[in-house]
């Protein structure tokens, strides 16, 4: 669609989140976790927003490393390597902002992951922040890798990530591209949800945004994201 109808088009971030909540109510799928969109300056410029956006990851759209993932019906055609955290303790709404130390203390595990975003809008780059939030911050498909070993002492902000689309090209990035560090992005969403009166719940997975320019993919591609000592995640994309 080009845009939501005038009568129900959100004009503020809060209105966008209200629409997103209603979409969740009719989706008939349990919530797996959260995603963060536009965590890099380049990503924000690309879609014309001035900050990150939160969206919901839903069961039924989640795969695990090594899976075959269908691209049928998607228009963006990109895959993004991301640091994902599984929450080990509820972070409920409160008046005082959460610190990064508090948020990281509530994390159970860290996972390499792949997000495959998509949008319902024909021209998503010009839909604007409120509509993109209503569109679940372009949440679509997600591939979760295995839990990383002994990651607590790792400087995630400078951690290098390599991506390979087998037989076609390679790309490099780092945690610094994710709001300065994936731990900072996780803190951002904890406080974004807190301000909305939403609890970041035990067991939910939060994927923190791409750590490099999105990888252009087509059916037939085998994609491997290498997070070094933190492990790897891969997927085959099919029609």
Query: How many domains are there within the chain?
Result: 1
Residue 83's nearest CA partner among 105, 112, 117 is 112
| The pLDDT value given to residue 45 | 86
pLDDT above 90 for 47: no
Cα-Cα-Cα-Cα dihedral of 78, 72, 74, 3, to 10°?
180
Question: What mean pLDDT comes out for the span 24-39?
Answer: 94
Q: Is the pTM of this model over 0.85?
A: yes
Question: What mean pLDDT comes out for the span 42-51?
Answer: 86
Give, as one character, the DSSP assignment of residue 20. H
| The pLDDT value given to residue 123 | 93
Query: What tokens were used for 109?
Result: 């595990």
| The pLDDT value given to residue 41 | 81
Query: What tokens were used for 48?
Result: 């014309």
Give, as one character, the DSSP assignment of residue 146. P
Q: CATH number of the domain that 181 lies in? A: 3.90.850.10
3-state secondary structure 29-59: CCEEEEEEECCCHHHHHHHCCCCCEEEEEEC
Q: Is residue 78 part of a domain?
A: yes
Point out which residues pair with 170 in neighbouring strands.
164
Cα atoms in the 13 Å half-sphere on the side-chain side of 76: 20
Give, as one character, the DSSP assignment of residue 127. S
Q: Is residue 1 part of a domain?
A: no
| The pLDDT value given to residue 30 | 95
Mean residue pLDDT of the chain comes to: 96
Taken as a whole, the chain contains a residue count of 239
Residue 235's nearest CA partner among 58, 69, 35, 62 is 69
Q: Is residue 151 part of a domain?
A: yes
Q: Is residue 140 part of a domain?
A: yes
SS3 161: strand
The tens digit of pLDDT for each residue in 10-22 reads: 999 999 999 999 9
C-alpha separations of 83 from 93, 120, 129, 160, 223 in Å: 24, 25, 23, 11, 16
Residue 46 pLDDT level (bands cut at 50, 70, 90): confident
- Residue 181 sits in which domain range? 6-238
The tens digit of pLDDT for each residue in 137-153 reads: 999 999 999 999 999 99
pLDDT above 90 for 42: no
Q: Is residue 234 part of a domain?
A: yes
Q: Is residue 177 part of a domain?
A: yes
Residue 188's nearest CA partner among 177, 196, 179, 197 is 179
| The pLDDT value given to residue 24 | 87
Those residues with Cβ within 8 angstroms of residue 41's Cβ, 6 or more apart along the chain or in another chain: none
Gap between the Cα atoms of 46 and 124, Å rounded: 10
């Amino acid at each position: 669609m080009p845009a939501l109808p005038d009568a129900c088009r959100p004009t503020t971030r809060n209105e966008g989140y209200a629409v997103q909540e209603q979409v969740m109510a009719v989706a008939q799928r349990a919530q797996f976790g959260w995603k963060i969109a536009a965590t890099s300056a380049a990503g924000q410029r690309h879609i014309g927003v001035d900050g990150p956006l939160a969206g919901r990851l839903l069961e039924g759209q989640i795969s695990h490393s090594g899976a075959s993932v269908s691209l049928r019906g998607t228009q963006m055609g990109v895959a993004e390597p991301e640091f994902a955290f599984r929450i080990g303790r509820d972070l409920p709404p409160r008046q005082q902002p959460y610190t990064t130390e508090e948020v990281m203390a509530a994390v159970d595990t860290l996972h390499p992951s792949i997000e495959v975003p998509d949008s319902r809008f024909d021209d998503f780059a010009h839909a604007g922040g409120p509509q993109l939030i209503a569109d679940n911050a372009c949440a679509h498909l997600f591939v979760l890798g295995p839990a990383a070993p002994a990651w607590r002492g790792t400087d995630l902000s400078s951690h290098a990530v390599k991506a390979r689309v087998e037989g076609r090209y390679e790309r490099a990035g780092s945690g610094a591209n994710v709001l300065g560090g994936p731990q900072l992005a996780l803190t951002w969403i904890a406080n974004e949800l807190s301000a909305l009166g939403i609890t970041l719940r035990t067991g939910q997975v939060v994927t923190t945004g791409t750590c490099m320019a999105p990888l252009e993919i087509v059916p037939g591609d085998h994609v491997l994201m290498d997070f070094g000592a933190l492990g790897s995640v891969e997927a085959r994309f099919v029609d």
